[in-house]
């Protein structure tokens, strides 16, 4: 069995090809991404292929040529690339990361027209992600007719949340309509926790995972079951992010509505104009802000770190402690200074960092960065949402086919 994992964003299309042996997904033979797919963007593709037997690698990058629909052009180029690299046996499934599954979808599904219609109805809850995820499914249906398209949901990992974690203090009728907390980044948390189980004896106890990137959230688990998380009804709640505000007093929105702001203007504010970008006025990219000595850039970084520290304390309280703290995501995996600042402020919980281990180049390695005296294990775990999605797709197919 061969499964292609696809993650379609607003300007990117990430992909990975996974062989499946005896029901288990193996290391990807091909990984890559198309970037600059937004209008007027500089569209290009980068890829890396690794031979599972010899370990030999090949890499390539090139501009993306032609096509009125850049995403469709990207998928056509991907099909050609698979043929050119000799990786073009018939695909058994294409696994798609879909951010929101609502109350209806608690596990991966083979997508049909009815399901696609229902998932589109959830787009207002994740406007930065859901429409693009579903566009990727539709395009793959055209590009790969007859190949099952499997939707894998970020919300599914959080179906174990206790009721007190899913409810808002709102009337029961609204809860019955689905106005509740769902949680996101579930594919990432599932992967990270699976890795922690292989490297730490403490992973069965209280664990806090920090997925920090352009989208950012925290999740606390016990026995591998999600018990608390910072994102809720939508992917804008919780931590400060690249362009998203995170948690906000609803009175601010009432004030702005009273001042004549429209719903669309508020959506743009919360999802696209706030976070690191809004506070700094410079960039949503933490790397650019680190290189910028201006007070505005440093203020944005300090606020981001403060929100992370504040919410880690809340997550630890929800699971009565913290035996393991794990960092993942683009910022979590690569920003050693952020990890230092966060862990220094968690000293009251017994966190002590090994500065030399923390400063090592990130790469793709899982590594511990806690000092021997630390009461809490601290790990950096590069995430692989595609592998989790591919495994979910393989499980769905194996459950329905001989």
- Determine whether the annotation assigns residue 194 to a binding site: no
Start-end of H helices in 129-262 = 130-143, 163-166, 172-176, 186-199, 250-258
CA-CA distance, 174 to 153, in Å (whole number)?
23
- Determine whether the annotation assigns residue 286 to a binding site: yes
- Determine whether the annotation assigns residue 14 to a binding site: yes
- Determine whether the annotation assigns residue 125 to a binding site: no
- Determine whether the annotation assigns residue 387 to a binding site: no
> Closest Cα partner for 13 from 79, 83, 89, 112?
79
> Closest Cα partner for 72 from 8, 122, 26, 1?
8
- Determine whether the annotation assigns residue 215 to a binding site: yes
Tokens 């393991």 belong to residue: 324
Token representation of residue 201: 């004896």
Token representation of residue 252: 């601010």
- Determine whether the annotation assigns residue 212 to a binding site: yes
Tokens 């850049």 belong to residue: 70
CA-CA distance, 329 to 286, in Å (whole number)?
12
- Determine whether the annotation assigns residue 385 to a binding site: yes
> Closest Cα partner for 181 from 108, 113, 231?
231
Angle between helix axes 250-258 and 263-272 (nearest 10 degrees) is 140
Which residue among the candidates 69, 154, 268, 355 is catalytic per the annotation?
154
127: left (phi over 0), alpha (psi -120 to 50) or beta: alpha
> Closest Cα partner for 47 from 74, 69, 68, 16?
16
Query: Do 5 and 389 form a contact (C-beta atoms < 8 A)?
Result: yes
Q: Give yes or no: 395 in active site.
A: no
- Determine whether the annotation assigns residue 97 to a binding site: yes
- Determine whether the annotation assigns residue 332 to a binding site: yes
CA-CA distance, 265 to 396, in Å (whole number)?
41
CA-CA distance, 311 to 288, in Å (whole number)?
25
For residue 313, count other CB atoms closer than 10 A to its CB.
15
- Determine whether the annotation assigns residue 358 to a binding site: no
CA-CA distance, 368 to 380, in Å (whole number)?
6
For residue 61, count other CB atoms closer than 10 A to its CB.
10
Point out the annotated binding site for ATP. Answer: 14, 211-215, 285-287, 330-334
Report, as residue numbers or ranges, the catalytic residues. 154
Binding residues for substrate: 97
Binding site, residues?
7, 14, 97, 211-215, 285-287, 330-334, 385
């Amino acid at each position: 069995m061969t499964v292609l994992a696809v993650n379609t964003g607003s300007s990117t299309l990430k992909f990975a090809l996974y062989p499946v042996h005896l029901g288990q997904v193996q290391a990807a033979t091909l990984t890559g991404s198309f970037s600059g797919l937004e209008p007027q963007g500089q569209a290009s593709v980068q890829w890396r292929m690794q031979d599972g037997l010899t370990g030999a690698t090949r890499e390539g990058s090139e501009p993306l040529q032609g096509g009125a629909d850049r995403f469709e052009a990207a998928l056509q180029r991907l099909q050609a690339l698979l043929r050119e690299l000799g990786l073009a046996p018939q695909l058994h499934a294409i696994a798609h990361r879909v951010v929101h599954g609502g109350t209806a979808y608690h596990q991966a599904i083979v997508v049909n027209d009815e399901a696609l219609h229902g998932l589109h109805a959830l787009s207002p809850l994740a406007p930065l992600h859901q429409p693009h995820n579903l566009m990727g499914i539709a395009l793959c249906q055209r590009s790969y007719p007859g190949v099952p398209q499997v939707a894998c949901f970020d919300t599914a990992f959080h179906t174990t949340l206790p009721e007190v974690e899913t409810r808002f203090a709102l009337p029961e009728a609204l809860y019955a309509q689905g106005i509740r907390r769902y949680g996101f980044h579930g594919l990432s948390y599932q992967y990270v926790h699976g890795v922690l189980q292989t490297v730490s004896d403490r992973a069965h106890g209280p664990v806090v995972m920090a997925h920090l990137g352009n989208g950012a959230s925290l999740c606390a688990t016990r026995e591998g079951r999600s018990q608390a998380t910072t994102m809720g009804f939508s992917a804008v709640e919780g931590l400060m992010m690249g362009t998203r505000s995170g948690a906000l007093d609803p009175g601010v929105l009432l004030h702005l509505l009273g001042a004549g702001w429209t719903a669309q203007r508020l959506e743009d504010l919360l999802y696209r104009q706030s976070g690191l970008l809004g506070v700094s006025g410079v960039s949503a990219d933490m790397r650019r802000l680190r290189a910028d000595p201006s007070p505005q850039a440093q203020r944005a970084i300090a606020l981001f770190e403060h929100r992370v520290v504040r919410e880690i304390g809340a997550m630890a309280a929800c699971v009565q402690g913290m035996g393991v703290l794990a960092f993942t995501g683009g910022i979590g995996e690569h920003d050693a200074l952020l990890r230092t600042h966060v862990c220094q402020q968690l000293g009251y919980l017994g966190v002590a960092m090994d500065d030399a281990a923390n400063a090592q180049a990130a790469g793709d390695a899982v590594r511990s960065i806690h000092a021997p005296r630390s009461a809490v294990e601290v790990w950096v775990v590069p995430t692989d949402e595609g592998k989790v999605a591919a495994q979910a797709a393989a499980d769905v197919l194996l459950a329905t086919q001989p």
